[in-house]
Amino acid sequence: MSETLPVPSAPPAPARRVSGVPIRLEHVTKRYPGQDRPAVDDVTLDIAAGETVMFVGPSGCGKTTLLKMINRLIEPTSGRIHLGDEDVTNQDPDRLRRRIGYVIQAGGLFPHMMVATNIGMVPRMLGWEKQRVTERIDELLDLVGLDPEQYRDRYPKELSGGQQQRVGVARALAADPPVLLMDEPFGAVDPITRQRLQDELLRIQDELGKTIVCVTHDFDEAVKLGDRIVVFDVGARIVQYDTPEAILAAPAEEYVADFVGAGATLKQLTLTRVNSLHLRPVTTASVGDDAADAVARARAAGDDFVVVLDRRGRPISWPTLAEVSRMAAIPATVDEKLPVVGLGSTLNDALDTMLAASQGGAVVLGRRDSLAGVVTIEMIMDAIQRTRQETAG
Ligand SMILES: Nc1ncnc2c1ncn2[C@@H]1O[C@H](COP(=O)(O)OP(=O)(O)OP(=O)(O)O)[C@@H](O)[C@H]1O
């Protein structure tokens, strides 16, 4: 029988808006027919409102079963589930699911429905007026970084994997549910896209403060996204439930140490985020501005590059002064390969992004993809050096 594990007392992430509710699982068990051992064996777990909690553990240990019992896609054999003050164990599952957003691998979009129809499904079921649904769709596309004009009338197959996943997140958030469940949400996309989507999720969560429970196979992802991580063993036995920092510093059992991996010191870098660096301000210019003026301002500031912003203040390119000098006005050209990272990106991510680009740095995006500054390879190297010294000392 697993012991009761209250929410650990470490302080939550820096104060942010909380729109989520706490989740309490009480002695929850799931026995599948014909199996001798329960897939989930008497689990008690408290998840605090507004936190992101990551479920990790070996294949078949019961993570997905536990997750799906929260929105009753799987019915518990016994035990109770509370959302906020409410016992939802016997609540009508359809009603329950409207209060719990659910994101699965590859977005899980309906292929025959346009993006807008996919996103607007739950609000329409809830009887929202047409105008309100339409506005909500555009608002959400904007939130997940997709231009509504360009994407709302497309079919899922006309989107990249990463874009489909973004729409999946938008759809899950449509009716503004307090809880978001995610099952390997970024498992099906390439590493660079995954990193971007993780950054977006951090940014969105920073704005919204939902209660998020997310299953992942990737311990680095758990460290990056989680306010806390639950490490499970077979039967969804909770081996450790703590902040990423605490788990990396002191794995509870040898089993967790093995799971965390030999590179734990290096993983500490995954804990250091771009927002902890002192970001460099940079010369910017808007589309249509006089190029000579931008060059003069950059020279005066000692910058070799100019970050070009679109009319919504989002960076679209990062030309050198030599390139800008050849122009009359700043063009609207979007550089598809612009190296960008989010404020929540880890130093590992930032380094990966920079190594694939020519500028020796990356543009840092803040809220709604606005420019937060620039991070350079030198800044990352300095930070790595400091982390090494602290770990050694
Ligand atoms: N519908 C089912 N019928 C019978 N057994 C099941 C069913 N679904 C899952 N199981 C079993 O329950 C256990 C837990 O499965 P679950 O999918 O929850 O694990 P998991 O930790 O999410 O695994 P993975 O990481 O591989 O996705 C496994 O032993 C699995 O074989």
What pLDDT sits at residue 5?
45
More confident call, 351 vs 65? 65
**Residue 3 pLDDT exceeds 50:** no
CA-based nearest residue to 248, from 275, 273, 219: 219
pLDDT value, residue 207: 86
Owner of token pair 């950059």: 298
Interval 92-131: pLDDT, tens: 998 888 889 999 887 788 999 999 999 998 899 888 999 9
Residue 249: pLDDT band (50, 70, 90) is: confident
Q: Which of 32, 182, 232 to mutate to test the pocket of ligand 1 (most atoms within 8 A of CB)?
A: 32
For a ligand 1 pocket test, name from 28, 30, 35, 182 the mutation site with the most ligand atoms within 8 angstroms of its C-beta.
35
Instruction: Count CB atoms within 10 A of the CB of residue 202.
Output: 21
Give the pLDDT band of residue 23 (cuts 50, 70, 90): very high
Ligand 1 centroid vs 167 CA: distance in angstroms? Answer: 27
- pLDDT number for residue 39: 96
Q: What is the mean pLDDT of residues 347-370?
A: 82
Pick the residue whose CA is nearest to atom 5 on ligand 1. Answer: 32
User: What angle do helix axes 130-143 and 161-173 make, rounded to 10 degrees?
Assistant: 130
For CATH 3.40.50.300, the residue range(s) in the chain are 23-262
pLDDT at 148 over 90: yes
Using pLDDT thresholds of 50, 70 and 90, give the confidence band for residue 388.
Answer: low
CA of 60 to the centre of ligand 1 (A): 5
Which band of pLDDT confidence, cut at 50, 70 and 90, is reported for residue 10? very low
Structure confidence by residue, pLDDT tens digits, 251-286: 777 777 776 765 555 566 677 888 888 888 899 999
**pLDDT band for position 15 (cuts 50, 70, 90):** low
CATH of span 23-262: 3.40.50.300
Cross-strand partners of 211: 179
Q: What pLDDT is recorded for position 203?
A: 84
- Residue owning the nearest CA to atom 6 of ligand 1: 32
- DSSP state letters, 214-273: EE-S-HHHHHHH-SEEEEEEGGGEEEEEE-HHHHHHS-SSHHHHHHH-TTHHHHHHHH-B
| Model-wide pTM > 0.90 | no
Task: Determine the distance from the C-alpha atom of residue 212 to the mean position of all C-alpha atoms in its chain, rounded to a whole number.
Answer: 10
Give the pLDDT of residue 357.
73
- pLDDT tens track for 197-241: 888 888 889 888 999 999 998 888 888 899 999 999 989 999 999
Measured in angstroms, how far is the CA atom of residue 144 from the centroid of ligand 1?
Answer: 31
Q: Tokens at residue 221, please?
A: 């992802």
Nearest CA to ligand 1 atom 17: 64
Distance (Å) from CA 66 to ligand 1 centroid: 10
Q: What is the pLDDT of residue 349?
A: 83
pLDDT at 52: 97
SS3 104: strand
pLDDT band at 6 (very low <50, low <70, confident <90, very high): very low
Nearest residue by C-alpha to atom 26 in ligand 1: 59
The pLDDT score that the predictor gives to residue 191 is 78
In Å, what is the CA distance from 227 to each residue of 61, 68, 235, 279? 22, 21, 23, 24
Which band of pLDDT confidence, cut at 50, 70 and 90, is reported for residue 348? confident
**Ligand 1 neighbours by CB, cut-off 6 Å:** 32, 35, 39, 57, 59-65
Say what percent of the chain tops pLDDT 70.
91
Specify the residue with its C-alpha closest to ligand 1, atom 24. 59
Q: Average model confidence (pLDDT) for the chain?
A: 87
CA-closest residue to ligand 1 atom 7: 32
CB-CB contact of 72 with 93 (8 Å): yes
Residue nearest to atom 12 of ligand 1 (CA): 39
> Is residue 244 within 8 Å of 222, Cβ to Cβ?
yes
**What is the structure's pLDDT at 326?**
93
Q: Over 60: is that where the pLDDT of 369 sits?
A: yes
- Report the CATH number of the 276-389 domain: 3.10.580.10
Spatial distance between the Cα atoms of 274 and 199, rounded to a whole number of angstroms? 11
> Atom 16 of ligand 1 has which residue's CA nearest to it?
62
| Residue closest by Cα to atom 2 of ligand 1 | 32
Ligand 1 geometric centre to CA of 64 (Å): 7
Q: Is residue 287 a contact partner of residue 330, using CB atoms and an 8 Å limit?
A: yes
Pocket test for ligand 1, best of 31, 64, 213, 219 (most atoms within 8 A of CB): 64
CA angle 372, 377, 382 (to 5 degrees): 100
Cα of 219 from ligand 1 centre, angstroms: 19
Residue 21: which pLDDT band, with cuts at 50, 70 and 90? Answer: very high
Q: Which of 128-137, 271-280, 308-317 has the lowest mean pLDDT?
A: 271-280
Determine contact, residues 70/92, Cβ cutoff 8 Å. Answer: no
CA–centroid distance, residue 387 to ligand 1 (Å): 39
Query: Which of 13-22, 64-73, 311-320 has the lowest average pLDDT?
Result: 13-22
For residue 183, what pLDDT band results from cuts at 50, 70 and 90?
very high
Residue range 319-326: mean pLDDT, rounded = 92
Atom of ligand 1 nearest to the CA of 74: 1
Residue nearest to atom 14 of ligand 1 (CA): 62
Residue of the CA atom closest to atom 29 of ligand 1:
60
CA 231, 234, 235, 237 dihedral sign is negative
How many angstroms separate the alpha carbon of residue 381 from the centre of ligand 1? Answer: 43
Distance from residue 184's CA to the centre of ligand 1 (Å): 14
How many angstroms is it from 32 CA to the middle of ligand 1? 9
